[in-house]
Amino acid sequence: MSHFLVRGGRRLDGQLTVQGAKNSVLPILAATLLARGQVVLLGCPRLRDVDASIRILHHLGCDARWEGDALTVDTTALDRCGISDQLMREMRSSAIFLGAILARCGQADLSYPGGCELGPRPIDLHLSGLRQLGAEIREEGGFLHCRAPALVGRELVLRMPSVGATENLMLAACGCVGTTVITNAAREPEVVDLQNFLNACGARVSGAGSSCVSVQGGQALHGCTYRVMPDRIAAATYLCAAASAGGDISLLGAEERHLTTVTAALRQAGCAITADGGGLRAVCRGPLRAIEPVQTAPYPGFPTDAQAVLMAALLRSRGATVFEENIFENRYRHVGELTRMGAKIRVSGRVAVVTGVERLHGAPVRCTDLRGGAALCVAALAAEGETRVSQICHIDRGYEDLVRDLRALGADADRVEETDNS
């Protein structure tokens, strides 16, 4: 398997354009099933999860092909309403296809999805909402057999503001008769991006970004050309990389309004972060300070996906910072790998206390999940010597080319492609 080699001790200096958002493009790819005609997605990131979504589209009989950084999708020839177990297991977000297939075909057959092992992420909210819209869903041996000859809009109240459930129900609601209102909806920017894409295709969706989303079903959707929003978690990763190594970087396309809790934390730690119409600039000089407790929460709270990279940035800070993880119970799997580099972190349940150390050292470490893997690279930038990061397949799920981007910012890093000589 391939690995990264990161040699620390070099300050970052440079600029890059932030990739399109992973957590936005995946539901948009599912949404293309609702549009009759050609969809062109501009700025679509080339990720393992995007590749997995393309394989699902091909499996369903659709056409999807790359033209530069644009992905062209045509779902006109869809001829199947089921997804194989192997394809579903490739990523957690594969569940998002359920609502779209059900709305398009009136039936769907698929298994439970896979993805990073971050603890229980049940799709019961998805299934409950779909059942309320009129779907008959039978769960058998890890498979879901869904039938919905006619979906009917109604008010849905989510028990918690789940991003995946909100998006899945938005897609299903496009195929409903009448209006669907989703209350206690997730407010993440990616939900807004999905709404904007659907409306560009002719849908009538409103309210995304608030806790109440309304979908007037029954619209005939058509193709369109659409640019995917910039990835706020990738931007947070590079801001934290600059905080870890020190330096002066510019992130073109990054939007601070999507990152206010992250930029506030980094400013408190001692970084100077400024925004203009073109993106964000981070200037980080001198030792960082410990900050007030970081508590992850649904948007607009601190994003769970940025917790690990911020933790990595603060490993050499002065003082101690408390992290409280309130979204996923296994979000601290990267801690053991960070301690191999000399980090001082104490974990108790959902709480982790990071006490800054004077120096970190390079070590062989392995990725445990997508964001934890990125955190190892952020920490390696501040470590003395060389760090070997293995199992980078996790990182490839969400970052188009992490080493390329770090090198663009002045980091000393390489990707080593290993060959199988067996």
Catalytic positions are 116
Tell me if 191 sits within 8 A of 24, measured CB to CB.
Answer: no
Give me the helix-helix angle, 232-245 and 260-269, nearest 10°.
10
Beta-bridge partner residues of 272: 283
**Beta strands 212-216 and 225-227, pairing class:** unpaired
Beta-strand runs (E) in 293-343? 294-295, 320-324
What is the spatial distance between Cα 319 and Cα 244, in angstroms, rounded to a whole number?
A: 15
What is the spatial distance between Cα 150 and Cα 226, in angstroms, rounded to a whole number?
A: 30
Write the single-letter amino acid at 144.
Answer: L
Three-state secondary-structure class, residue 21:
coil
Tell me if 328 sits within 8 A of 297, measured CB to CB.
Answer: no
Q: What b/e sequence results for 158-174 when a residue is b if at least 16 CB atoms lie within 10 Å of its CB, and e otherwise? A: beebbbbbbbbbbbbbb
- The owner of tokens 């709480």 is 351
Classify the phi-psi angles of 202: left when phi > 0, otherwise alpha if psi is within -120 to 50, otherwise beta. left
For 113-153, the DSSP string reads ------S----HHHHHHHHHTT-EEEEETTEEEEE-SS-B-
Sheet of 386-390: strand order equals 364-366, 386-390, 3-7, 412-416
Q: Which two tokens stand for residue 317?
A: 């800070």
Instruction: Compute the 3-state secondary structure of the chain and give helix, strand, coil in percent, each to the nearest 5.
Output: 35, 30, 35
